[in-house]
Amino acid sequence: MGNSDVGLTDHGRDQAKAIAQQLANHSFDKIYSSPLSRAYDTVKPFADQNHQKIIVDGRLQEVNWGSFIGQPDAVMFKTIGTDIDQLYYSYDLRLYGGESAEQVKTRVVSFIKDLKKTDDKEVLVGTHDGILHWLYYLINGQKAGLLPNASIHEFIL
């Protein structure tokens, strides 16, 4: 789906409610979300139950896959000469109306740097697969494998 704004399915809304229940005993200083509704609507049940505002941050938006949005992954892999194992960290889709890995990395680094400047101890972030891969790499120094939708990941800055 890339950076197209596709809403949650019924299953996705159920998953968002389940996440809110899983996190019911946690408190967060702030809640951040990608501007895309599927990420925003995933953290909204938790924000609502805790009467917290969601801060929308464009740096958390999913990768712009350009003209490959909505196409099977195999089409992109064949066209740009890569596979899923290499995709997250080394691509340049600017020729196809998308972003490069370096552009995405730059915005994720910027978000992390700004988080470090706050006094916040714990934050909740609603984002996407492509951004999560960069968070794993930039914070933990490891490349992440398969990351399921509606999953919870903990990072320590």
Confirm if 61 and 92 have CB atoms less than 8 A apart.
no
Q: Percent of the chain, pLDDT > 90?
A: 80
Q: Give the C-alpha separation, 66 to 99, whole Å.
A: 7
pTM (global) more than 0.85: yes
Confirm if 3 and 93 have CB atoms less than 8 A apart.
no
Residue with tokens 């896959």, as numbered in its chain: 65
pLDDT band at 61 (very low <50, low <70, confident <90, very high): very high
Residue-range domains of the chain with CATH:
10-140 (3.40.50.1240)
